[in-house]
Amino acid sequence: MTDLASPITDSSRKTCTLYYQLAEELAQAISSGVLQTGEKLPSIRKLSSQRQVSLTTVMEAYRELEDRGYIEARPQSGFYVRAQRGFAMPELTQPPQKPSEVVIDPLLQPAELARLHDIKVDFGLAILSPKLYPNAQLQRILAQVTRHEPELISDYGKPQGDLELRRQIARRSLAWGGHVDAEEVLITHGGMEALNLCLRAVTQPGDIVALESPAYFGLLQILESFRLKALEIPTHPQTGISIEALELATRSGDVKACVLLPNFSNPLGSLMPDDNKRRLVELLAERNIPLIEDDIYGEFCYHGDRPRPAKAFDRNGNVMQIGSFTKVVAPSFRVGWVTTGRFQSKLEDLKFINTYSTSPPLQRAIAKFLESGGYDHHLRRLRKACADQVTSAVSAIQRFFPSDSRLHVPQGGYVLWVELNTAVDTLQLLQRALADGISFTPGPLFSPSHSYRNCLRICCVEPWTMRHERAIQRLGQLASEMIYGC
């Protein structure tokens, strides 16, 4: 254990102190650009009188910000905002051009790491803090639902799902120009069941499936269990999969399905421009290759309206769009859905034999939450929280990671993809970090060809605190040691 242990365990006491809260407030102002590089901060005396706090409190807050690299003291002059270092963006990925069998090391999965190690700061699990969910509201709605309709408890429900919920989902598609009919919506046990059903609907063992590279490891596990081969397609961290590369890869007719995350992919955070989505949908429709669109992060945009899914450009039902309330509303409810397109009857049959139905009271509670407007209100708060968490993480990574690191700053979601100097093996980095109680997901887990050894994914799932800051600092130190050997 290093000296990281004490700041982490002491952090909750520390975060309650006045100086720390003042430092946090100023750090936020710097990260969000309210206070800009080179700007002078108020003198210690002035801030102490403005805030009605002691001189020591302000001095300690400034010292904290200096330690964290936000500000610098200039002799005889005062405190100034330091330039926040920006990192270059990773380039278009270059995965192998051949399909691979998928073999995933279960011991590298974030949930398994969390089970086997004493983790104090977990950047591995993509599970948002319980504090960010509308538990009290949902508890009230669920109580009302079961009070007014107790028969829902003894009802198996229908395989397609609750009609009220399906209508609400169809209605929300109007916002992105979708013409989804409630009949076309199939409710599932989260996004995971939807991915399973969609892949089973359109592939046979041994088939080749095209995907982003790097790709969500949960998807790779499904491919592994169905004995499907993965064809990794070059992907840009900003704009997603290369349509040109996909066009070439699908010429031979061997690719039987394509699974993509056009909106805020996991782990790259890329967002495909609308024009690329249109070209993607047209290309795959022409070649009769079904598109499974995993859109579970689409709602997590930081600014403006949620981006349109590829489904918005679908003209012949070739796109199955997957959504989920797991990440957005209630992880324990496990309610997701898929808009089935031309695969409706196949998907309904598969749902019937897979889990038959999804819990009727839980579906109805979500339907009521959507109908009441509570969902939109919650979504605004959630988006803001994710944006703040990611901004703070980006700022810390830029201050503490080696200067030749590369990073893509996403416009939505809550995962960050960092590319380090090739001297860093993130599998080894993970072992060292785990010894300090820190976890993250190493790059090779996102690739069937086990590429990306010098990359890692950081999940920003909790309100940012000193604990996270110190953990990023420690990761940066460990990475530097691997590069410079000291």
Q: Is 235 in the site for ligand PLP (CB under 6 A)?
A: no
Q: String of b and e for 184-211 (b: at least 16 CB within 10 Å)?
A: bbbbbbbbbbbbbbbbbbbbeeebbbbb
**Minimum CB distance to ligand PLP smaller for 266 or for 473:** 266
Task: List Cα–Cα distances, 93 to 40, 84, 251, 427, 441, in angstroms.
Answer: 41, 27, 20, 19, 18
Task: List Cα–Cα distances, 85 to 82, 407, 442, 456, 458, in angstroms.
Answer: 9, 11, 24, 20, 19
Q: Is 132 in the site for ligand PLP (CB under 6 A)?
A: no
Burial of 484 (0-12, 13-18, 19+ CB in 10 A): exposed
The one segment of 141-149, 186-194, 280-288, 347-355 that binds ligand PLP by CB under 6 A: 186-194
Q: String of b and e for 252-280 (b: at least 16 CB within 10 Å)?
A: eeebbbbbbbbbbbbbbbbbbeeebbbbb
Beta 185-189 vs 335-339: how paired, if at all?
A: antiparallel
Q: Is 218 in the site for ligand PLP (CB under 6 A)?
A: yes
Going through 193-324 in order, the beta strands assigned E by DSSP cover 208-213, 229-236, 240-241, 255-260, 291-294, 319-324
Q: Is 161 in the site for ligand PLP (CB under 6 A)?
A: no
Distance CA 170, CA 178 (A): 8
Q: Is 121 in the site for ligand PLP (CB under 6 A)?
A: no
358 Cβ contact partners less than 8 Å away, ≥ 6 residues apart: 157, 161, 187, 188, 189, 334, 335
The one segment of 27-35, 172-180, 185-193, 416-424 that binds ligand PLP by CB under 6 A: 185-193
Q: Is 214 in the site for ligand PLP (CB under 6 A)?
A: no
Q: Which of 109, 160, 266, 451 binds ligand PLP (CB under 6 A)?
A: 266
**Are 195 and 211 spatial neighbours (Cβ–Cβ below 8 Å)?**
no
The one segment of 169-177, 184-192, 366-374, 463-471 that binds ligand PLP by CB under 6 A: 184-192
**Are 312 and 275 spatial neighbours (Cβ–Cβ below 8 Å)?**
no
Kindly state the smallest distance separating residue 193's Cβ from ligand PLP, in Å. Answer: 7
Q: Which of 134, 191, 360, 410 binds ligand PLP (CB under 6 A)?
A: 191
Q: 197 φ, ψ to 5°? A: -65, -45
Q: Is 126 in the site for ligand PLP (CB under 6 A)?
A: yes
Distance CA 157, CA 363 (A): 10
Kindly state the smallest distance separating residue 255's Cβ from ligand PLP, in Å. Answer: 20
CA dihedral (217, 222, 224, 229) positive or negative = negative
Q: Is 197 in the site for ligand PLP (CB under 6 A)?
A: no
Kindly state the smallest distance separating residue 415's Cβ from ligand PLP, in Å. Answer: 8
Q: Is 160 in the site for ligand PLP (CB under 6 A)?
A: no
Do you know the residue count of the chain?
486
Q: Is 324 in the site for ligand PLP (CB under 6 A)?
A: yes
Q: Which of 296, 319, 366, 466 binds ligand PLP (CB under 6 A)?
A: 296
Maximum Cα–Cα distance for the chain, whole Å? Answer: 76
Q: Is 446 in the site for ligand PLP (CB under 6 A)?
A: no
Distance CA 149, CA 361 (A): 9
Q: Which of 122, 207, 232, 294 binds ligand PLP (CB under 6 A)?
A: 294
Q: Is 412 in the site for ligand PLP (CB under 6 A)?
A: no
Kindly state the smallest distance separating residue 328's Cβ from ligand PLP, in Å. Answer: 9
**Minimum CB distance to ligand PLP smaller for 250 or for 266:** 266
Q: Is 309 in the site for ligand PLP (CB under 6 A)?
A: no
Q: Is 190 in the site for ligand PLP (CB under 6 A)?
A: yes
The one segment of 168-176, 189-197, 222-230, 373-381 that binds ligand PLP by CB under 6 A: 189-197
Question: Tokens for 292?
Answer: 């499974």
Q: Is 363 in the site for ligand PLP (CB under 6 A)?
A: no
Kindly state the smallest distance separating residue 294's Cβ from ligand PLP, in Å. Answer: 5
Q: Is 295 in the site for ligand PLP (CB under 6 A)?
A: no
**Minimum CB distance to ligand PLP smaller for 47 or for 223:** 223
Kindly state the smallest distance separating residue 436's Cβ from ligand PLP, in Å. Answer: 25
The label of the residue with tokens 């499974």 reads: 292
Distance CA 426, CA 108 (A): 11
Q: Is 216 in the site for ligand PLP (CB under 6 A)?
A: yes
**Minimum CB distance to ligand PLP smaller for 48 or for 324:** 324
DSSP, collapsed to helix, strand or coil, labels residue 422 as coil
**Minimum CB distance to ligand PLP smaller for 191 or for 437:** 191
Residue 423 one-letter amino acid: A
Size of the site for ligand PLP (CB under 6 A): 13
Q: Is 261 in the site for ligand PLP (CB under 6 A)?
A: yes
List residues binding ligand PLP (CB under 6 A). Answer: 126, 190-192, 216, 218, 261, 266, 294, 296, 324, 326, 336
